[in-house]
Amino acid sequence: MKGITGRDTERSCTTGAADTNTDSNGCAEVISDRNDGRVYGTTDRLFQIAGQRAAEEKTSLVKKKWYQGKPILSIGILSVILLGCLFAEVLMTKDPTYMDLINYNKAPDGEFLFGTDTMGRDIFSMIWYGGRISLLIGALSTAISTLVAVVVGAFSGAAPEWLDNLIMRFTEIFLSIPSLLLVILLQAIMGKANVLSLSVVLGLTSWTSIAKVVRTEVRQIRNSEFVIAARCMGGGFFHILWKHFAPNFLSSILFMVIMNVRSAIISESTLSFMGIGLPLEVISWGSMLSLSEKALMTSSWWMILIPGVFLVTTLLCLTNIGNYLRKSGNRRERNL
Amino acid sequence: MRKRNRALYYGKKLLIFLFSVLVLSAVVFYVARLAPGDPLVSYYGDRTEKMSPKEREWAMEKLGLDEPIHVQYVKWMQNAFHGDFGISFKYKRDVVEVIRGRIVNTLLLGGIGFLCIFVGSLLLGVFCAWHEDRWIDRILCKLGTVSSCIPEFWLSLVLILIFAVTLRVLPSSGAYSTGRANDIGDRVRHLILPLAIVTIEHLWYYAYMIRNKLLEEVRADYVLLAKAKGLNKRRILFWHCLRNVLPAYLSIMAIAVPHVLGGTFVVETVFSYPGIGALSYESARYHDYNLLMLLCMMSGILVIFCNMLSQIINEHIDPRIKASEVAETSEVTAA
């Protein structure tokens, strides 16, 4: 009884009557119109149905403003940081690479807005100038890892069973090499670190999780009629990948791509901090923080806090945007 | 019949495990030796530059580096099977000995950290699910998101700045003060900050997973039935919902073991904590081949083993899942 009547009542309330004031009478009438002749509405009033609840009307009535539920604040802050880094030349008050040997290790004041570091460089200018490199590495390495992931994942998903198994085993082994060691080794092979080599290294060590998702999605649709039709008409692997596979898995990897940007920025700063990433002369948020050992000795908090706050704010904005992309569909009402 | 099936199942797993370890060892061996750089530097230090070609040849021969790589690899394998992993070029001692002195510290940090994460995230996740969408849950969610965005090394720096430099209550480096290696209180004081960072860094990731899984469970039909039977909220949540979530949690925590141990790496570097994190960094950078091999094999075996463990847990929960699909589902939910 509950299973059938309860559900039907709910549904007809929401779909049949747009009016919020529909009382139980209204519902009963809609239901009793069904052609088997039985009157369902009366039972509704006689017994209370367990778990029955009023239909959720709020969503249909109150029209959402365009900004509601969207991470506007995060997008705003992120664009401020992005634009600031893009037009760093306009914002900079000093030359970020110039070492002022008189004013080194100064606390923030009117002239040096964020203070200077132990080498006498102006931190305010370095923030915007260095943000470029950090964000560039984030974007570049994500582009590389996504490209590798999509090609490997789609190939593995479309390949015959044994090849697919082999590729997946290989991916697992690849995952089991500690990524930091892999980065150090790749770094050693590619020579002295620069922006490009670091992006390639980070990209090559972070593609596996996206590849797995792509593979699963491709496996689900690879035998669909439209794919077979495309193959019959002589479509190549990359054509099918781009025209048929990509639109299907794009939404499910979008979140992971954003998260990859995040982890690439984290990795870059960690590596630069430990002295195996970018050298001190190449200004990025990470390499600015590599001076922090000296800063700790002189307790110059601004050298540690300011680049870090920028770093964390950027990461936080990216996470919020990523989480928004992940949330899909409405949440059901809880039964507890 | 059933027993034989089980033996077959574990036998197959063991075979895959051995195969993976073998491939891993070969890959690491080749990559390490092909990386440019002079391994002699780590053994002879600055003297390498003054060596005549003849001396170099002799040194290479002595360390067994003059043969082709595949011969070296086979030799290494033969020795490894006898428990001989060679000597560390830098420390000039048996690598097992070098690692033995350090691994206790890492296991202590990683192990206690893992326990804190395991218990803490379970409690935190259940707490958040219980108070879904109330202010406390929202605040915790926001805080958790922020905590997961902070890079480990920066958090360490900030905590050192607060507790060691400004307040001067906790030490900022090492595992013990000089000359007080056996003082437990002193060791604990040195462990607090690194432990806090390892825990904070991973806690929310798993707590959030528990929270989301519980919220999914809470919307299932059996909860409605239990409620209709008259069970109270606490009993339903702890007795029914949590029980359904726990196996998945266990399997994810199995994958988390290497993650947490790997996470101690950065913390060890910042705090100059004498663990194996700093050791593996050194060995990769200075081509201390034997040490690097053993460390890579140890962490690699740990990762492969933990992944397999989580697969087995998953397959026991839900026999419909095939081995190959488990990794993805856990990966996706974990991400």
In angstroms, the CA A258 to CA B123 distance is 29
Q: Which of A158-162, B33-37, B228-232 has the lowest mean pLDDT?
A: B33-37
Asked if residue B292 lies in contact with residue B283, where contact means CB atoms within 8 angstroms, the answer is: yes
Q: Which residue has the higher pLDDT, A51 or B216?
A: B216
Which of B149, B271, B272 is best to mutate for the A interface (most A CBs within 10 A)? B149
- The span from the CA of A325 to the CA of A51, in Å, is 32
Place of tokens 């206790």: B104
Average pLDDT, rounded, for chain A: 76
Which letter, b or e, does each residue of A19-42 get, where b requires 16 or more Cβ atoms within 10 Å of its Cβ? Answer: eeebeeebbbebbeeeeeeeebbe
Separation in Å, CA of A178 to nearest CA in chain B: 7
Residues of B in contact with A52 (CB under 8 A): none
Higher pLDDT, B90 or A33: B90
Tell me if residue B229 falls in helix, strand or coil.
Answer: coil
Cα A190–Cα A193–Cα A199 angle in degrees, nearest 5: 85
pLDDT tens for each residue of B265-298: 888 888 888 888 778 777 777 777 788 888 888 8
Structure token digits, residue A173: 């082994």
Which of chain A's residues have a Cβ under 8 Å away from the Cβ of B27? 173, 177
Burial readout B306-326 (b: 16 or more C-beta within 10 A, e: otherwise) = bbbbbbbbbbebeeeeebbeb
Instruction: Name the phi and psi angles at A101, rounded to 5.
Output: -75, -15
A256 and B161 in contact by Cβ < 8 A? no
Q: Tokens 């936080």 identify what position?
A: A316
- Mean pLDDT, chain B, rounded, equals 81
pLDDT tens-digit profile of B159-177? 988 888 888 888 877 777 7
Give the pair of three-digit tokens for residue A205.
């060590």
| From A172, A299, A315, residue closest to B149, measured CB to CB | A315
Quote the pTM value.
0.78
Mutate to test the interface with A, among B153, B237, B273, B279 (most CBs of A within 10 A): B153
* Residues 6 or more apart whose Cβ sits within 8 Å of residue B331: A209, A212, A213
Tokens of A52: 């029955």
Mean pLDDT of A246-252: 82
* Gap between the Cα atoms of B321 and B311, Å rounded: 9
Cα separation, A147 vs A137, in Å, equals: 15
Comparison of pLDDT for A90 and A225, the residue scoring more: A225
- Considering only alpha carbons, which residue of chain B is nearest residue A335? B219
Distance CA B155, CA B246 (A): 30
More confident residue, A145 or B17: A145
pLDDT digits (tens, 9 = 90+) for B183-198: 788 888 888 899 999 9
Chain position carrying tokens 């639109």? A247
Question: Tell me, what's the pLDDT at A61?
Answer: 52
pLDDT of the residue at B333? 39
* Of B107, B41, B29, nearest in space to B69 by CA: B29
Which residues of chain A neighbour B291 with C-beta distances below 8 Å? none
Position A143 confidence tier, pLDDT thresholds 50, 70, 90: very high
Across the interface, of A270, A332, A336, the residue whose CB is closest to B266 is: A270
Q: B168: which DSSP letter? A: -
Q: How confident is the model at residue A336 (pLDDT cuts 50, 70, 90)?
A: low
CA distances from B17 to B2, B212, B307 (A): 23, 32, 10
Residues forming beta bridges with residue A121, ordered by sequence position:
none
Residue A97 has pLDDT above 90, yes or no: no
Pick the closest to residue A264 from A314, A190, A321, A326 (CA basis). Answer: A314
Q: Do B284 and A189 touch (CB under 8 A)?
A: no
- Cα B182 from Cα A156, distance rounded (Å): 54
Q: Does A308 contact B24 at a Cβ distance shorter than 8 Å?
A: no
Please check whether residue A28 is in contact with residue A44, taking contact to mean a CB–CB distance below 8 angstroms: yes
Q: What CA–CA distance (Å, rounded) separates A181 from B32? A: 10
Alpha-carbon distance A189 to nearest alpha carbon in chain B (angstroms): 5
Share of chain A above pLDDT 90, in %: 12
Report helix, strand or coil for B94.
strand
Summarize pLDDT for A13-47 with one digit per residue, the tens: 333 333 333 333 434 334 444 444 444 555 555 55
Angstrom distance (rounded) from CA A254 to CA A265: 17
Which residue type does A178 have? P
Q: In the prediction, which pLDDT does A99 show? A: 76
Q: Quick one: pLDDT at residue A49?
A: 61
What pLDDT, on the 0 to 100 scale, is given for residue A45?
55
Average pLDDT on B98-107 reads: 85
Q: Both tokens of residue B220?
A: 């299932």
Reported as a pLDDT band with limits 50, 70 and 90, residue A51 is low
Coil, helix or strand at residue B182: coil
Distance CA(A95)–CA(A5), nearest Å, equals 74
Q: Is B166 on the interface with A (CB under 8 A)?
A: yes
Contacts of residue B92, Cβ cutoff 8 Å, sequence gap at least 6 = B43
- Residue B228: list chain A partners with CB under 8 A: 50-51
Output Rg (C-alpha) for chain B, integer angstroms.
25
Higher pLDDT, B101 or A140: A140
pLDDT of A137: 92
The SS3 call for residue B50 is: helix
Q: Look-up: residue for tokens 């009884």?
A: A1
Q: Rounded CA gap, B112 and B118, in Å?
A: 10
- What mean pLDDT is predicted for residues B219-248? 88
- Tokens 């697969």 identify what position? B311
- Cα separation, B90 vs B92, whole angstroms: 6
**For position A1, what pLDDT does the model report?**
35
Structure token pair of residue B269: 């570097």
ipTM for the complex shown: 0.79
C-alpha span between A265 and A253 (Å, rounded): 19
Rg (alpha carbons) of chain A, rounded to whole number: 29
SS (H, E, C) chain A: CHHHHHHHHHHHHHHHCCCCCCCHHHHHHHHHCCCCCCCCHHHHHHCCCCCCCCCCCHHHHCCCCCCCCCCHHHHHHHHHHHHHHHCHHHHCCCCCCCCCCCCCCCCCCCCCCCCECCCCCEHHHHHHHHHHHHHHHHHHHHHHHHHHHHHHHHHHHHCCHHHHHHHHHHHHHHHHCCHHHHHHHHHHHHCCCCHHHHHHHHHHCCCHHHHHHHHHHHHHHCCCHHHHHHHHCCCCHHHHHHHHHHHHHHHHHHHHHHHHHHHHHHHHHHHHHHCCCCCCCCCCHHHHHCCHHHHHHCCCHHHHHHHHHHHHHHHHHHHHHHHHHHCCCCCCCCCC
| B15-54 residues touching A, CB cutoff 8 A | 16, 20, 23-24, 27-28, 31-32, 34-37
Write down all domains in chain B, each with its CATH number in brackets: 1-90+319-335 (no CATH), 99-285 (1.10.3720.10)
pLDDT tens digits for B296-323? 888 888 888 888 888 888 777 766 555 4
The lowest-confidence range among A268-277, B140-149, B174-183 is B174-183
Q: Each residue of A219-240: pLDDT tens digit? A: 888 888 888 898 899 888 888 8
Chain B residue numbers touching A179 (CB-CB < 8 A): 262
Residue A15: the pLDDT is 35
